[in-house]
Each structure stands twice: as structure tokens, then as C-alpha cells.
Amino acid sequence: MFENLQTKLNAVFDKLASRGKLTEQDVDVALREVRLALLEADVNFKVVKDLMARVRERAVGVEVMRSLTPAQQVVKIVHEELLSTLGPPSRLDLSGPTPHVVMLVGLQGAGKTTTAAKLALSLRKGNRRSLLVAADTYRPAAVTQLEVLGKQLDIPVHSEGTSVPPPEIVSHAMRRAREGAYDVVLLDTAGRLQISDQMMQELEDIKAVARPQEVLLVADAMTGQEAVNVARGFHERVGLTGLILTKVDGDARGGAAISMREVTGVPIKYLAVGEKLDALEPFHPDRLASRILGMGDVLSLIERAGETMDRTEAEQMGRKIVKGEFNLDDFLKQLQQIKKMGPLGQVLDMIPGMGRMTKDLAPEVTDKQMRRIEAIINSMTRAERLDPRALNASRKRRVAHGSGTTVQEVNDLLNQFRQMQRLMKQLGGGGRNARGGLMDFFR
């Protein structure tokens, strides 16, 4: 989502880094480019103005001018002020007696129904029993969609069709939740193509019945400048307590995240980072600020790896790498593990410096490229994967035919893998050049 903004900001900071000493004029030129980058990323102009004023006040002072590394100091100041704008981390308020009510609001098409299911799954991981409530009676497909998602996740759904008024449905659901000793009630409310008084009145009625602890605005990250008006409209009528941004894995410019947080004063609580039902992440302002400035997000990468990778298998793989016994069968397993962590570009972007290394490779660095490599390896016999030296000319032709590739592509993969093996050995021995080996597979 922040790829374009990240690229532009990195270009600005690279220019600053080429100067050993910064003048006030240098800082002003750099901040003007930062301002343009933020505006192009759809950050609200008032938010940009306030942010840049705070940065300039610090950047033209003693703090930067007397620093041994002034460019890095400017990056540090921008990082800290961006972090201040994004606000502190915040989690769902699930204190007090159960059931806790979480009410999801937003415009039509923002992804409320899917987000409700994702949130229920996330809460179940924390041993919370949720009841999903289909309170969107204006879009018949919304009730069916929530029922299907609930069945898929084995999470109960309270629905009464489309003829019963939503406040009544919610009232009945609350009774069921108390009788069934549910921990959390998740309300999927109706959206509109635009904010209307009728819509807001209905939400106010539902809120009066359910008395939710959390009222979360589910907002499409691609909303752009309009995000500010949407967030303000909901906040004024129903009193938001948090935000959930959806479609952040798309090509949105990212400004909505910064703008809505600043305008409403309520925290971003979750990011929906993909279409899968487990693709909902708690929002970490410090990690997002680091990613925007090209510093990576190692903590999120470690958390994803911990959720998807088997510890015993990882330890066995580590021993193989140290001994230089890493083969194509092992490599295939590693690719499959990486795929579970999300799109390749997203994963690489979490590694400090890797996002900048790979930006020139797009669109070659893609999941399609990974599938091509998998197809080639899957077309080999197990004996060939364990010892690629067994691949003579006729076997390579068979592999190329079976994978829908060319003999040249098979040869390229084998050559790159041999290089990877050597680099893996260096990695095991503390070598520094192993990172480049992975990238050769996606060139």
C-alpha cells in the first residue's frame, strides 16, 4: 500500500545523505519533496501541513545541524513525527462483564462482512467465543455471505433474514449471547454508497440497543481524500472508538491510514492485509512508520513466520544449511512455507533494505515467478531433487516439458541454486553475502 510513498521518501533521504552538512535551505527543499510525496499519497492536506510544521521546527534546529549524520537525523525526526501522527498502539477493549459488543460500521463495499468473520477468527485464537450478527438487511447477499463465512469457520451466526428491523435483530442476538455465554458479539451493520441521515439514525438505534464497547469504522484503504469526510461523518454521529483498514495489500496510496487517525483522534486497531480469513493483523504504528520509511518490519515478519512455520522442521533445515546439505527438495519446502506468509513482495518488504533492493525488479518479483520455480522442481523426480547433478540433457527436456518452461529456464534455476547452496554455506559460517542469493531466483 505504501510502496509509492516509500520510494519517493527514500529518494528524498538519499539526496540528503549525499550532503555531509545540511543547511536550512537543504532541509526546506527536502521537506517540500516530503510534503508533495505525502499529498500524492492522498494524505489530507491539513494533516500534511501540521506534520511538516512539526518536522521543520525540529529539523532546522541544533538537533540536526550539529549531528554527525544530519541526513539520518532528519529521517529519525520524520519517523518520530509520523509515529506521533499514527498514534500509540491500541487493542480492543474487552474489559468488564460479557458479552462484549463490537459494532462494525462503514460504507458499502468497504468489507465489513468479511472483516467481521476475520475478527471472529482472530478472537478465537485468543480463546474468545464470538457470535456474529447479520444486521445488514438491505443487502440480502450480506446475510447469506455472513452465514457462509460462519459455517466455514465454525462460528455461530445470528440471522433473521431481511424483513426484521436491524435493532430488533440485535436485541434478539444480545439475548442469545447472554443465554449462550458468548464472550463477544460482532455486529455486521448495513452500509450505503454514501453517508445518509437514515443510515446514521439506524446505527444510532442499534447502538442504543447493543451498547457496544467498541464502534469500529471499517474503511477501504483506497478511499483516498474522501476518507477524511467518511471518518468524520461516522465519528460525529455514532462515536467511533477505532478503525479497521481493509485492502491494504492493494495499490492504495496509503494516505487514508494517516488522515483518518489524525482527523478522528481514534486509533487504527487492525489492518486487513489480504483476502484470506486469517489476513487480519493488529495495527502497530511503529512498524508501519518504519515500513513507510523503508526500514523494514522484522517483528511482523518473525510473528508471521512463527504462525506458519514448524519449529522442528525449521531447526532441521538450519542444520542442513550449516552442513551444506540444502537440496532442491528443501528449497521447495521453503518456498511453500514462504507462500503461507503472504505475497512475496509483502514478505521481502519487511526485511530492512530488501524492499529497496527489489523495487527495480517489479513486476518480475511476483508470486507467478514463485509458481514457475515450483513447477520446475515438481517436474523432477525425488532423486533429481536430492542430487540435481543427475539431470542430463534428456532429463532437463522432460522437466521443461512437464513444467511448461524451457530448458534454458531449467538450466538457469539449477545454476542459481548451486550459487544459493554456496551462499547458504557462507550463511551458516557467518558470511554476509547470502541475501543476494535469494534475489537471483526472482530476477
Domain finish residue from 39, 55, 86: 86
State the cell numbers at 349. 518488504
- 134 and 268 belong to one structural domain: yes
pLDDT tens across 31-46, in order?
888 888 888 777 888 8
First to last CA, the chain: 23
Domain finish residue from 256, 289, 322: 289
| Residue 294 domain-assigned (yes or no) | no
- 81 and 142 belong to one structural domain: no
Per DSSP, 266 falls in state: P
- 278 and 228 belong to one structural domain: yes
- 320 and 277 belong to one structural domain: no
Domain finish residue from 289, 312, 347: 289
| Residue 229 domain-assigned (yes or no) | yes
CATH number of the domain at 250, please.
3.40.50.300
Output the pTM of the full model.
0.63
pLDDT tens across 190-210, in order?
887 667 888 889 999 999 999
Return the pLDDT at 26. Answer: 76
| Residue 209 domain-assigned (yes or no) | yes
Q: E strand or H helix at 219, and its extent?
A: strand 214-220
Q: By residue range, what is the domain housing residue 268?
A: 100-289
pLDDT tens across 46-70, in order?
888 888 888 888 877 655 555 546 6
- 342 and 267 belong to one structural domain: no
- 160 and 249 belong to one structural domain: yes
State the cell numbers at 266. 481514534
The residue among 198 and 300 whose pLDDT is bigger is 198
Return the pLDDT at 197. Answer: 84
CATH number of the domain at 7, please.
1.20.120.140
Structural Rg of the chain based on CA atoms: 25
Question: Are 165 and 136 a contacting pair, CB within 8 Å?
Answer: no
| Residue 72 domain-assigned (yes or no) | yes
| Residue 95 domain-assigned (yes or no) | no
CATH number of the domain at 402, please.
1.10.260.30
Predicted confidence band of residue 284 (pLDDT cuts 50, 70, 90):
confident
Question: Are 22 and 61 a contacting pair, CB within 8 Å?
Answer: no
- 282 and 316 belong to one structural domain: no
Q: Which residues contact 306 (CB under 8 A, 6 or more apart)?
A: none
CB atoms within 10 A of CB 279: 17
| Residue 230 domain-assigned (yes or no) | yes
pLDDT tens across 337-396, in order?
776 666 665 665 554 444 444 454 444 445 677 788 889 999 999 899 888 888 999 999
Return the pLDDT at 167. Answer: 94
Environment class of 272 (CB within 10 Å of its CB; exposed 0-12, middle 13-18, buried 19+)? buried
- 220 and 340 belong to one structural domain: no
> In total, how many domains does the chain have?
3
- 329 and 394 belong to one structural domain: yes
Question: Are 107 and 233 a contacting pair, CB within 8 Å?
Answer: no
Return the pLDDT at 245. Answer: 85
| Residue 332 domain-assigned (yes or no) | yes
The residue among 288 and 328 whose pLDDT is bigger is 328
- 79 and 158 belong to one structural domain: no
- 213 and 117 belong to one structural domain: yes
| Residue 226 domain-assigned (yes or no) | yes
- 191 and 262 belong to one structural domain: yes
